[in-house]
């Protein structure tokens, strides 16, 4: 971490004390977890006080931790036996513990001082996630928060116009939630008899997509084919190869 970020971290921790919890710093930025009850106070201080001056809100995004820390990749070449990629079994992200399922992340920029900070706040311990709206602090939060509401179902208390932003009228559910099916619930098609687009239950077969562990790369196919062609195929050829290796 640069000396500039270290000085900023010292100012933040001196100003807020135990109100903020330091998170791992990624991409040369500072990250802190903020209690929902302190969110607006912290944001106003970061915007207004000398040494911070975070006058610009870059982004607000929702996060769903439903399977974080417990889901493993299941593929044809690797199973959950002996593999624990992405799994931290000591973390408490288990259903129905909704207290740590949904979170909101805020990316702040100080144009004046040229530094950044990231805040993370977990939603209320309820199946209906709620956090305070930062729209009174940064007007740019308006559409960001509407997007997070639309995609994740996170409500922002105090938002002036909490409506969906990206999905269609009458859409049911929130597409970015981890328990929302990849194919959705309905599909649309043009009905030539009615002369308009109609909705109907989805006809796509449900399936689970997982990352591939072994990738067959065309850059190595010729080399592999050559190795297969020159490899000994009969027992006598194998014995001759082993004999030469032993003599060497």
Per the model's pLDDT, the better-predicted residue between 186 and 212 turns out to be 186
**What average pLDDT does range 152-158 have in this prediction?**
95
- Same structural domain for residues 228 and 112? no
**What average pLDDT does range 32-45 have in this prediction?**
95
- Same structural domain for residues 10 and 117? yes
Q: Domain total for the chain?
A: 2
Domain assignment of residue 95, yes or no: no
Question: Is pLDDT at 158 greater than 90 in this prediction?
Answer: yes
Domain assignment of residue 34, yes or no: yes
Domain assignment of residue 109, yes or no: yes
Measured CA distances, 141 to 99, 112, 217 (Å): 23, 20, 44
| pLDDT value, residue 84 | 44
- Same structural domain for residues 114 and 19? yes
Query: pLDDT tens digits, residue range 138-147?
Result: 999 999 999 9
- Same structural domain for residues 147 and 25? yes
- Same structural domain for residues 115 and 51? yes
Q: What residue has token string 């144009």?
A: 111
- Could you tell me the pLDDT band of residue 152, with boundaries at 50, 70 and 90? very high
- Same structural domain for residues 162 and 243? no
- Same structural domain for residues 52 and 161? yes
Domain assignment of residue 11, yes or no: yes
Query: How much is the pTM?
Result: 0.71
- Same structural domain for residues 232 and 136? no
Domain assignment of residue 231, yes or no: yes
- Same structural domain for residues 130 and 230? no
Domain assignment of residue 212, yes or no: no
Domain assignment of residue 33, yes or no: yes
Question: Is pLDDT at 63 greater than 90 in this prediction?
Answer: yes
Range of the structural domain that residue 240 is part of: 218-247
Which range is least confidently modeled, 31-45, 68-82, 136-150, 234-248?
68-82
Strands 102-110 and 56-64: antiparallel
Question: Is pLDDT at 196 greater than 60 in this prediction?
Answer: yes
Question: Is pLDDT at 237 greater than 70 in this prediction?
Answer: no
Query: pLDDT tens digits, residue range 97-144?
Result: 556 889 999 999 999 999 999 999 999 877 889 999 999 999 999 999
What CATH number is given to the structural domain containing 37? 3.30.460.80
* Other CB atoms within 10 Å distance of the CB of residue 169: 5
DSSP letters, 12-72, are HHHHHGGGSEEE---TT-EEEE--GGGHHHHHHHHHHSTTT---EEEEEEEEE-TTTBT--
- Same structural domain for residues 37 and 113? yes
- Same structural domain for residues 136 and 243? no
| pLDDT value, residue 172 | 86
Question: Is pLDDT at 75 greater than 70 in this prediction?
Answer: no
Strands 186-191 and 196-201: antiparallel
Across the chain, mean pLDDT equals 81
Domain assignment of residue 228, yes or no: yes
């Amino acid at each position: 971490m640069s000396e500039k970020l270290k000085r900023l971290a010292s100012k933040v921790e001196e100003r807020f004390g135990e109100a903020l919890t330091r998170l791992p710093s990624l991409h040369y930025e500072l990250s802190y977890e903020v209690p929902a009850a302190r969110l607006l106070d912290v944001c106003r201080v970061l915007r207004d006080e000398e040494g911070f001056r975070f006058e610009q809100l870059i982004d607000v995004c929702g996060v769903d931790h439903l399977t974080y820390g417990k889901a493993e990749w299941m593929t044809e070449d690797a199973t959950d036996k002996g593999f624990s990629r992405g799994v931290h079994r000591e973390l408490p992200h288990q259903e129905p513990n909704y207290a740590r399922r949904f979170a909101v992340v805020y990316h702040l920029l100080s144009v004046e001082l040229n530094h950044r900070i990231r805040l993370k706040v977990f939603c209320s311990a309820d199946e209906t996630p709620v956090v305070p709206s930062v729209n009174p602090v940064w007007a740019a939060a308006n559409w960001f928060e509407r997007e997070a509401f639309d995609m994740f179902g996170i409500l922002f208390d105090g938002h002036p116009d909490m409506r969906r932003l990206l999905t269609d009228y009458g859409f049911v559910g929130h597409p970015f939630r981890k328990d929302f099916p990849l194919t959705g619930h309905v599909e649309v098609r043009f009905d030539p008899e009615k002369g308009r687009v109609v909705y109907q239950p989805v006809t796509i077969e449900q399936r689970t997509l997982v990352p591939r562990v072994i990738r067959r790369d065309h850059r190595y196919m010729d080399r592999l084919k050559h190795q297969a062609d020159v490899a000994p195929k009969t027992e006598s050829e194998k014995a001759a190869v082993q004999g030469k290796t032993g003599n060497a």
